[in-house]
Each structure stands twice: as C-alpha cells, then as structure tokens.
Structure 1
Amino acid sequence: MRLQFVLSEIGIGLRRNLAMTISVVLVTFVSLTFVGAGALMQQQVSTMKGDWYDRVQVAIFLCTQDSLSASCSGAATDADKAAIEQALASPPLSQYVSEVEFETSDEAYAQFQQQDAELSASVTPDQLPESFRVGLEDPERFGVISESFQGSPGVEQVVDQREVLEPFFAVLNAATAGSLALAGVMLVAAVLLIGTTIRLAAFNRRRETGIMRLVGASSTFLQLPFLLEGVIAVCLGAGMAGAVLLLAVDRGVTGWLAEQVPAFDYITTTDVWATIPWLFVGGIVLASVASLVSLSRYLKV
C-alpha cells in the first residue's frame, strides 16, 4: 500500500512539473556528458602518454661539418662515435639503456623525404647529422643520458623526443580541464534546478503533505516521493549522456579518428561502459543532496 502511494505521488509530481522535470533531465544530460567526456579525455591522454613515452628515444645528434655548437670543431670522427658507443655500453649507463640504433646521414635523409618531400629537395644528405637513437628502460631517466653526452666531443646536441610530444599533450590536458570546468558549471546549474523543482513540487502538494503529517507520517516517508522524482530525472539524463558518449567513442574515436590517425592507442567503448555507472552514481548523489537540502526547511514548517 505504501509503495503504491509513493509511486502515485511520484507520477503526480512528474506530471504537475513536467516542464521543470524535462529541464532537469536536459541540464543533467549536458553536464554529465561533459563530466564523462572530461574523464574519458583524461584517460585517453594517460593512455597515449604511457604508450608514446615508452616508445620515445633520446637522440644524440653528432656534429657535421657545418655545426655551430661549441663542442663541434668539424664533423664527428670515428673515434668520437666509438667513444659514444663504448660509453652507452658501459656499466654506469647500460642499466638505463634498452636499445641503441645508429642512424646515418643517408637514413636521416630518406626519413626526411618521407616526411616532407618538397622541403627535402633543398637539402643534401651530408647536411643532416648522424645520430644515436637510444631507447630507455625508464623514459623519466632522460637526464642521465643528457648529462653524460651533452658537450662531449663530436656531439652537437642531445634531444629527448618527449619534448616534441609535450605541447600536444598540454593541449589535450587544457581541453580536458576546460571540459571539466564547463561540466562543473553545468552541475551547479543542475543542482539548483533540481532543488527548485523539488521545492515547487513540495509547495504544490503542501496540503496533502500537511494531512499526512497530522496522521503520523514520518519525515522519511514524506521526503521519499520528492527525492525519487529528482533521482528519476537525473537517471534519465545520465542514461542519455552515456548513450551519447558510447556513440561518440564508437563512431568518432575507434571509428573515424582511429582510421585517420592510426598511430595512437585509443579508448574504446569498454572504457565508456566503465565510466557510465559513475555518471549514475554522481547524478543520484547530487539529486539526493539537492532534494534533501530543499526539503529540510519545508518539512520543519
């Protein structure tokens, strides 16, 4: 009997405040979509960082005949190359090194042609420096290699390839922060709208609530229909947000984007399914808090 009464009160409340309920659903949908998108973007950045930082190398560029570096007095000699190779294989450094590849000027020129055929036409192979490409066991220990070879005879410069990726990841992190900031604003709007909707519903049914108080109904029993109205509206918004995120990742990320830029590892719909429950949990908590705060004063009257 009590369950039937609670359900009927929920139906009455949703019908009386249909426009406000739809507003709550839409605001919740938008805000949780941005929350989910921000969380997935941060996960994507972490995935890409872990994958690419493991693959990046430290490049030890050797001097060419035209090098202007203070450590260069002409092209690197065979003795210079042998000293670098020996140092990389020595016990102090070998523990940090996973692999070493030597790239000749001709190989560097061939790679340059693949990247920019038009610009490479104005460059000759001997103008491109030879280099040692050093893979690290721990990419964070770049400083050990840099300090060991920077300024050494025959070495023009030591470059960590992560420096090329950092600006890209900085942009992604900024986009994530912007998405989460907008989501925060929308969540505040959702909380205020939920509170207003519940308060309006309580005001419209104040006579019925007063009668129920007189016959001994508990505060919990009085609050429950209003609380569930907000939870239902939020769950509808969370469900819509989850559906949009699933579609966006399935069609946009693992579909179109993965085909256009296959070099990266991307999040999948499995990651979205793992995120969706948290959208529901967060939405329900917000709806519950907003509803209880709005009703606490009303029920004390």
Structure 2
Amino acid sequence: MRVTFLLGEVANGIRRNASMIISVVLVSMISLFFLGAGLLAQREVSVAKGFWYDKIQVSIFFCTNQSTQVQSCTGGAATKAQQDQVKSQLDGMKPLVERVYYESSADAYQRFKQQFRNSPYLSDVSADSLPASYRVKLSDPDKYSDVVDAFRGQPGVEAVSDQSRVLGTFFKLLNVVSVGAVGLAAVMVICAILLITTTIRQVAYSRRRQVSIMRLVGASATVIYLPFVMEILVATLLGAALAIGLLWALVHYGVEGLFNTRGSGGDLVSMIGTQDVWDFAPWLVAGAIVIALATAWLTLRRFLRV
C-alpha cells in the first residue's frame, strides 16, 4: 500500500467522522490523565517517605508552670534534674537515638514568633508558656514507639509527640488518592475501549460500499484494516499528548509553583517535578498505542470479516 494513499484515507476518514474522533480523543485524554495522576501520586508517596523518614523526630516536651492539669506535671515546671534524667535516658538508647537537640523555652518562643509572625494571637503567647523540649532523631524511624513509650507519663514530661502518626495519615491519604486515580483511570480506559469499538463500527458501516469494492478487487485484510486502525491510533495518540500536557501543567503550576517556592511549603516537603511527568510519558504513549491497536484490530476482525 502506498503511503500517500494511506495518509489520504486516514485524513478523509478523520474529516468525515470528526465528532466521533474528537470523542475518542477526549475519553483517551481523560483516562490517560487519571492514569498518569495515579502514577505521579504513587511516586509522590515514595519521594515523601524518603524525605520525611530521614527527618522524622520524636519531641519530648517538658512541663511548664501552666501544665497543672497533666498528671506528670503536678510539681510544676520541669526541674533541671528531671531534664538531665531524660537526657541521660536518651543517651542510653543509642544507637536507636541518633541525635538529640535541646530547645529551651526562649528558643521555642523565637521559633514561634518566626512561624506565626502574622498571627493576631502572637501577643498572647509568652516564652514561659512554651515548653522546653528534646527533639530526638532516630536511626530507625519505624521504632519510634520505643522512645515514646519510655518517656510518656514520666515526671517532668508533659507530652511526647511523634511525627510518624501525622505522616502515616498523610501517606495513607496519598495512597488512597493514587489508588482512586488509578481505579478511575481503569474505568475510563473501559469507556475508551467501548467508545473506540462503537466508533469503528459506525465508520465501518459508513464505508461498507468502499470495503465491498476492496474485497472484490482482492485487497488483503491489512489493506482494508489499516486506515481504520490509523485513524483510531491518531486519535488516541492525540489524547495521550493532551493528557501529558495537562499533567505537566498540573505539576509545573500546581506542585512546583505552589509548594516548591521557598516560604510556601517547598522548603518543608520534597515534591514531584515535571521530570517525573516526562519519565511516565513514554508509558502513557505506549498505553495509548496498545489500547488503540488491540481494540481496533479485534473490532475490525469481528465486524469486517475479509
């Protein structure tokens, strides 16, 4: 088959069935967009875990004069001896305890003023109301409960908090989002397959006379099938290109633009970037090709028996 003839047939077919081809483009774009979003969400989970698990801490907050309702703080503010006792216990928990940072009430107040400098309630907080604390970096973040259980309820200790609980909820949420996106993508892929099947049937019916003539002159199945397949392939590839473009815009303007700007969260959370979109782009294109070729060929074999 001559290439010019094939391209002419494909162009004519797309022009004659523009509305159906546009439908295939849109449903392909939506399904591949959600598939890409699910893959990016899974990568974000992996990136975020690697970032946060390296920095996960357990914070041990000491009693202040305002901690009267806490059972372990009935004696008032934590004494120097109680703080030294906690430090000694932490030193004895090495190598699980990799590093210990001490933050005094004054240091905590300075950090609070920096973080909440625009808050109208800043004037209501004093250095005495913020507890001193030990911030503990663990060599194995999965064993955070060993440290938490050792100091919770100890005299002079008001509270022990671990970031892993918050992060665990965060990671679960990301996993739910990614699974949901992939699940929705699977539904949209099914819709795309059904729409492609319907499109091919309608196009084949509209060209039944042309196909009959080609059969009479002895055209092979490949010659008859190929224009149909190429039309669907062009539509799904265009849908894949649009999906990749939308994902790039989402990551560039949404993730990188909002989160990776210093002062707006990017200095705290390591997020995915546009390079991740390009990493997944070949897989989305490959998925579009597989969907188009498999669906088109199987449908044509059923409805255009040569």
TM-score, L = length of structure 1? 0.86
Deviation sequence 1:140-187 (CA, Å, 0-9, x none): 221121122223332222110233444555554454445444433433
In structure 1, the partner of 2:230 is 228
In structure 1, the partner of 2:48 is 48
Deviation sequence 1:91-112 (CA, Å, 0-9, x none): xx21112210111122222222
Q: Give distance in 1, aligned partners of 2:222 and 2:216.
A: 15
Aligned residue identity for 1:83: Q
Q: Give distance in 2, aligned partners of 1:187 and 1:19.
A: 19
1:243 Cα deviation after fit: 2.2
Query: For the Cα contact (< 8 Å) 1:31–1:184, is it kept in 2?
Result: yes
Q: Please tell me whether residue 134 in structure 1 is matched to residue 136 in structure 2.
A: yes
Q: Give distance in 2, aligned partners of 1:82 and 1:56.
A: 23
Distance 1:240 1:171, change over 3 A: same
Q: Which secondary structure state, in structure 1, belongs to the residue aligned with residue 124 of structure 2?
A: coil
Q: 1:262 pairs with 260, 263, 266, which one? A: 266
Q: Give distance in 1, aligned partners of 2:69 and 2:249.
A: 54
Q: Which secondary structure state, in structure 2, belongs to the residue aligned with residue 229 of structure 1?
A: helix
Matches within 5 A, 1:214-253: 217-253=219-255
In structure 1, the partner of 2:299 is 294
Aligned residue identity for 1:191: I
In structure 2, the partner of 1:72 is 73
User: Unpaired segments of 5 or more residues in structure 2?
Assistant: none
1:133 Cα deviation after fit: 0.3
In structure 2, the partner of 1:31 is 31
Q: 2:193 pairs with 184, 187, 191, which one? A: 191
Q: Please tell me whether residue 285 in structure 1 is matched to residue 285 in structure 2.
A: no
1:11 Cα deviation after fit: 3.2
In structure 2, the partner of 1:15 is 15
1:132 Cα deviation after fit: 0.9
Q: Which secondary structure state, in structure 2, belongs to the residue aligned with residue 71 of structure 1?
A: helix
Q: 2:281 pairs with 273, 276, 283, which one? A: 276
Deviation sequence 1:63-115 (CA, Å, 0-9, x none): 3343433333323333322222122122xx21112210111122222222233
Q: Give distance in 2, aligned partners of 1:257 and 1:122.
A: 30
1:280 Cα deviation after fit: 0.8
Q: Give distance in 2, aligned partners of 1:138 and 1:113.
A: 32
Which shifted more, 243-252 or 190-199?
A: 243-252
Deviation sequence 1:117-143 (CA, Å, 0-9, x none): 543433333332221100112222211
Q: Give distance in 2, aligned partners of 1:112 and 1:127.
A: 11
Aligned positions, number: 299
Q: Which secondary structure state, in structure 2, belongs to the residue aligned with residue 197 of structure 1?
A: helix
Matches within 5 A, 1:208-219: 208-213=210-215, 217-219=219-221
1:221 Cα deviation after fit: 4.5
Query: For the Cα contact (< 8 Å) 1:67–1:156, is it kept in 2?
Result: no
Q: Give distance in 2, aligned partners of 1:88 and 1:283.
A: 56
TM-score, L = length of structure 2? 0.84
Deviation sequence 1:171-209 (CA, Å, 0-9, x none): 544544454444334333222211111111222223333
Quick check: which one's helix share is greater? 1
Q: Give distance in 1, aligned partners of 2:252 and 2:242.
A: 15
1:235 Cα deviation after fit: 0.5
Query: For the Cα contact (< 8 Å) 2:204–2:304, is it kept in 1?
Result: no
Query: For the Cα contact (< 8 Å) 1:59–1:134, is it kept in 2?
Result: yes
